[in-house]
Amino acid sequence: MKISIKSEKEIQKMRIAGRLAAEVLEMIEPYVVPGVSTEELDQRCYEHIVNNQQAIPANVGYKGFEKTICSSINQVICHGIPNENRILKNGDILNIDVTVIKDGWHGDTSKMYLVGKCQPHNERLVKVTQECLYRGIEVVKPGAYLGDIGHAIQKHAESNYYSVVEDYCGHGIGDVYHEDPQILHYGKSGKGIQMKEGMCFTIEPMINQGSKYCKTLKDGWTVETKDGRNSAQWEHTIAVTKDGYEILTKRLNESI
């Protein structure tokens, strides 16, 4: 396994791409309301990336995917495909996942949105899943192990009676969209590869209300919970720094 170590100059380029990706999620928030289609959200994100940011939406054409964002609603774990017939309803929970390429470098991030007034149990799932992401990020530093990330996420999820999806994981990122290492969202402390300054990767836990098992629909992309219960996901692109971590896709309203 060859893991890329980024220079400060390269990380600066990733900061720019990461800020743009974060900006897309900030821009789209006012439009995530009951009655809007996921296709409309996708179009707004595409136009913002291409016309305002003069950047490239990484998902368009990636392994045959045709859209700018993944829009995953309720029981959809990940890779939901925007569709003009999929209209958001009051009480839905929605994950929007976007990756922006700027000057050849990637910023990859996702955020949960509450559509209208949501049930408390869905609000709790969204909140705890974000906490899982933050718990995973907070252990990142040179000399720590990738297993420390998974352990922190799994411990928090299971202590709140949720399950961690094991079939999908985070990944190394840079001028390549998906590269080594894989970042598991479960595991044991002190196991796996040791982190080094200059490593860049995503942490993107998928947390289910029910069991961890999932299924892929006939479209070949959309992944749902096998038991039909809801799922949530949050994602950031992280750089390992000399004394800890930097969140390259941090949004302006985040306090971590």
Q: What is the pLDDT of residues 6-62, one digit of tens each?
A: 999 999 999 999 999 999 999 999 999 999 999 999 999 999 999 999 999 999 999
- Edge-to-edge strands of the sheet including 214-216? 76-78, 223-225, 214-216
Chain-centre distance for alpha carbon 191:
23
Give residue 1's pLDDT. 77
Give residue 255's pLDDT. 87
pLDDT tens for each residue of 115-160 = 999 999 999 999 999 999 999 999 999 999 999 999 999 999 999 9
Query: Is there a cis peptide before residue 181, judged by omega within 30 degrees of 0?
Result: yes
Give residue 29's pLDDT. 98
What's the mean pLDDT when you consider all of the chain? 98
Cα-atom radius of gyration of the chain, to the nearest Å?
17
> CA-CA-CA-CA torsion for 17, 100, 6, 167, nearest 10 degrees?
140
pLDDT tens for each residue of 95-118 = 999 999 999 999 999 999 999 999
The dihedral built from the CA positions of residue 205, 181, 251 and 36, taken in this order, carries a sign that is: negative
pLDDT tens for each residue of 157-190 = 999 999 999 999 999 999 999 999 999 999 999 9
CA–CA distance, 98 with 49 (Å, rounded to integer): 10
